[in-house]
Every structure is written in C-alpha cells, then in structure tokens.
C-alpha cells in the first residue's frame, strides 16, 4: 500500500521538476526576457549586413528578374544557417521588363527655332509600349479625375498628364502614408481611366518628395485590352509642362518600349522556428523580397526582409525557444501583383484561425516609435509589457487601428489575423521610394537595430502571450 502511495508522489515530483526546468528554459514574456531581446537586437548589425548583401551584391529585384531569383536563394541560405526550417513556396509572378524611355517637348508657344526640351521620366509597371520610334501627340494636363471626365472629348489620341502634387506637409507631420495614398491613386487609376476614353498615353506627376528631378515609378494598374504607354515624370517636368500648356498647345514625342513576358516561376521564402508546445499556432514576421528596378530597394524592402530575418538571429543568440511557431516570410511580388501573399493565403485559408498575428515591415527603415496593430480595442491593454520593454529605446507607442491594410497581410487580416507593423518615422521615406536613390547609404544602421528590436520583441510577445489578443475585425466597406 505504501509503495502504491509513493510511486504517484514521486511521479508528481518529477513532473513538477520537469515543469520548472521547462519554464526556466523558456522565459516567456517576463520583463527581463523582453529586455534581453531588446538589448541583444540593439547590439547586433545582423540586419544591416543582410541588407547590404541584398542591395550591394544583388541589386534590383523586380519579380521575374535574375535579381529576384538570386534574392530567394540568398535569403533561404541565410535562414538555413540560422537553423530554421526553410520552405520555398512556388509562385507564378508577372514578368515585365523596362525598355527605352524617352520624352521630349517638341512644340509649344514661344519655342525658339531648333529648341526642344527633355522630359525625365520612367515607365510605370505594366505600361504598354509605343512603336520603336515613339509617338508624337498633344499633351492634355489635368489636375483631378473630375477634370479628366469634363475634358473627355479632348483626350482621344492625346497624351494625358495627371499633375497632382504630393503633399509633403502631410508627410512631415506624420501623415506620409495618407499623402502617398492620395497621390498614388492617380498613378494606379489614372492611366486606366485615360485609356478607357481613348488617350494615346498617360503620364503622372511622380508621387513623392525631395524634388531633385527623380522619377518615382510604381505599378500602373493597366490591364490587357487597354494597355497604353504610361510613365511617371519628375515633379519639375510636370510643373514645366503645366506652365507651357497654359501658354498654348503643347506636344511631346514619347518613346516607351517595355515588354510583358510570360509569367515567371518564383517563390516565397518561408522559414519556421517551431514552437515548443503550440507548434501549430503561428506568428508571422515578414517583409517583401522584390523591389522596383531603378535602384537596389534598400528601404523598399530589403531592410524589412533583413529585419524579419534578424528576429531569428536575435532569438538564436539568446537560445530562446517560442511556445508558438515564429514564421519568417520573405514575400515575392508585392510591388506589382501581391501574388506571393495571395498564394500563401490560398494555401493557409483553412488554417487562418491558427495564425495568432502577422507582422510586416514595409514602410522603410526610418526611426521606430512603437507599433501599429489591428487588434480589438479591449486587447490593447495586453501589450503594456511589450510597450514597457521598448520604451527605453523610444519605441513604446502602441497605436491600435481597426485595419492596417498592408499589402501582403491584407488578405490574412480580412480573414481575421491581427496585423502588426513598426510605427516609423516616414517623413522622408517617400523621398527615395521607387526611385533610383533607394540605396543602402540611405539606411541608418542605428534605426535598423531599433527596427529589429521592435520586430523581435513583438514576435516573441505574440508567440508566448497567454491571453488571446483577439481576432482582427476589418470593417466592411
């Protein structure tokens, strides 16, 4: 009888000792653990080194290009070196390639004999092509969609210029995303609307700041059946054309020869750090691999991918094992299709409820001030320990929103997965965005360390939080 009593007692003692040992090995969301994560990230240049690898060694990474393929291999190899379980998820991506691009103002009132003026421009993604020797047509300048509609009878066979300024005052006061949204609607929708009423081509004033005669490219939203030549012109050239058009008729010679090739094979890079006791529950930390082709995409979005990779490096240095699986995703084709995100969502639709949260960094590498989150209002208080851990580096702000609607995470968010993003200083981000100036020298290494601290602490917090943070509830528009 005594033996029967002692055996379960010893079993309970052994179980208790194992539980204590497991707890010691997995520090969870104890303030000291979050502090160590912060401090380890702030002492590391891992993200800077990976950003340099992607930008300096590879360069531009537009979907379907050799650069994009090289980035897939580079990131996958780096994650394997960190001990992650790596999967390459196949994605069919658009393959658009830039050709010759040339603009010249050839007729306008008061033009001296023999004088023409060059226009600095860059074809928009998905642009159609002119004949090899270009087109010559009159330019119609409009400042809104309403004006385009009112002047529809003048548009057929002409080049439409949407001259809509980027609101830098908004950007400097913390509203850069809203300013970009107001401007980019003309880049995305303007060429299509111009094509529908018979325009020969469409131009848009570049969407961004720092007016140093740099064109800002981006996707056009054009589709087969109405794919006219479309380009972004520099702010200075848009203003010049507007002034000349007020003097009288203005004509332009335009050469754009991009090609749309068959869809290419590519991949999302997925790397897992399996959870210890809830491995089927997932926290995503991510950025997008592809970039536009004018520069090396340092801010957009090599720094974001590198920061997501550095989450694994930071936790490896501490030998911290999360309760839930942390999944790093380097998305493919955010810039001109979001096919990587859609492919992942299709594969994971049935498992959306097992995704506890998804983090993406895709707003450059400016100074982080905290975190944006699409969690229920009642859940905001749960993040107080995370805020406290990040406050010493000036990143303790928690900004709750009903929806973040970030590119790669928007589908998951609509499926109820809470989205998170670093709350960044973006006042100068759109100076470089989608331009030839988006290069490594524009990235501040100290800001990048803070970026990693925010990303890693948030991923760890979500992977270990006891109380559910709730599901996203995206408003129906």
Contact 359, 459 (CB under 8 A): yes
Choose the catalytic residue: 101, 281, 334, 335.
334
Contact 420, 349 (CB under 8 A): no
Quick one: tokens of 252?
């332009």
- Among 243, 246, 362, which Cα is nearest to 305's? 362
- Among 206, 356, 227, which Cα is nearest to 292's? 206
- Among 367, 370, 358, 371, which Cα is nearest to 308's? 358
- Whole-number Cα distances in Å, 422 to 81, 364, 371: 26, 10, 5
Quick one: tokens of 347?
């594969």
Instruction: Walk across the sheet containing 278-288 and list its strands.
Output: 85-97, 259-273, 324-331, 278-288, 355-360, 419-424, 368-373, 397-400
Quick one: tokens of 294?
């004018």
Query: What number of other Cβ atoms are within 10 A of residue 290's Cβ?
Result: 30
Quick one: tokens of 278?
């809830």
Residue 313 CB-half CA count within 13 A:
25
Quick one: tokens of 255?
């050469």
**Which residues fall within 8 angstroms of residue 364, CB to CB, at 6 or more apart?**
299, 300, 303, 424, 426, 429, 432, 433
CA dist., res. 452 & res. 356, Å (int): 20
Q: Is 334 a catalytic residue?
A: yes
Contact 116, 105 (CB under 8 A): yes
- Whole-number Cα distances in Å, 173 to 28, 169, 361, 364: 37, 6, 21, 17
| Residues acting as catalytic residues | 334
């Amino acid at each position: 009888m005594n033996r029967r009593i002692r055996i379960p007692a010893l079993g309970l003692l052994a179980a208790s000792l194992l539980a204590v040992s497991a707890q010691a090995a997995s520090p969870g969301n104890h303030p000291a653990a979050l502090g160590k994560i912060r401090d380890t990230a702030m002492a590391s240049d891992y993200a800077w080194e990976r950003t340099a690898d992607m930008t300096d060694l590879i360069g531009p990474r537009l979907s379907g290009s050799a650069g994009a393929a090289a980035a897939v291999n580079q990131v996958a190899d780096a994650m394997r070196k960190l001990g992650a379980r790596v999967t390459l998820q196949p994605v069919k991506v658009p393959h658009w390639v830039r050709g010759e691009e040339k603009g010249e103002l050839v007729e306008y009132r008061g033009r001296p004999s023999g004088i023409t003026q060059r226009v600095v421009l860059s074809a928009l993604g998905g642009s159609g092509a002119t004949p090899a020797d270009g087109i010559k047509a009159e330019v119609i300048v409009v400042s809104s969609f309403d004006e385009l509609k009112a002047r529809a009878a003048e548009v057929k066979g002409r080049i439409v210029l949407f001259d809509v300024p980027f609101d830098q005052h908004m950007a400097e006061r913390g509203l850069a995303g809203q300013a970009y949204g107001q401007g980019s609607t003309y880049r995305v929708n303007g060429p299509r609307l111009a094509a529908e009423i018979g325009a020969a081509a469409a131009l848009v004033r570049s969407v961004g700041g720092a007016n140093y005669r740099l064109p800002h490219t981006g996707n056009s939203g054009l589709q087969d059946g109405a794919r006219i030549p479309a380009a972004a012109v520099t702010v200075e050239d848009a203003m010049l054309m507007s002034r000349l058009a007020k003097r009288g008729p203005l004509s332009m010679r335009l050469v754009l020869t991009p090609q749309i090739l068959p869809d290419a094979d590519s991949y999302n890079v997925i790397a897992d750090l399996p959870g210890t006791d809830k491995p089927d529950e997932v926290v995503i930390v991510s950025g997008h691999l592809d970039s536009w082709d004018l520069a090396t995409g340092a801010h957009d979005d090599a720094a974001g991918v590198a920061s997501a990779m550095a989450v694994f490096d930071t936790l490896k240095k501490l030998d911290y094992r999360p309760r839930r699986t942390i999944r790093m995703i380097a998305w493919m084709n955010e810039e001109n299709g979001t096919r990587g995100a859609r492919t992942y969502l299709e594969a994971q639709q049935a498992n959306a409820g097992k995704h506890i949260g998804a983090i993406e960094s895709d707003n450059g590498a400016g100074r982080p001030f905290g975190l944006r989150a699409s969690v229920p209002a009642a859940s905001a208080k749960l993040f107080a320990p995370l805020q406290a851990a990040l406050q010493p580096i000036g990143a303790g702000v928690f900004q709750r929103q009903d929806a973040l609607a970030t590119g790669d995470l928007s589908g998951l968010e609509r499926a109820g997965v809470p989205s998170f993003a670093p709350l960044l200083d973006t006042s100068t981000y759109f100076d470089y965005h989608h331009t030839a100036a988006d290069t490594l020298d524009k990235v501040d290494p100290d800001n990048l360390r803070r970026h990693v601290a925010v990303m890693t602490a948030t991923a760890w917090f979500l992977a270990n939080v006891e109380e559910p943070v709730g599901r996203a509830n995206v408003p129906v528009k």
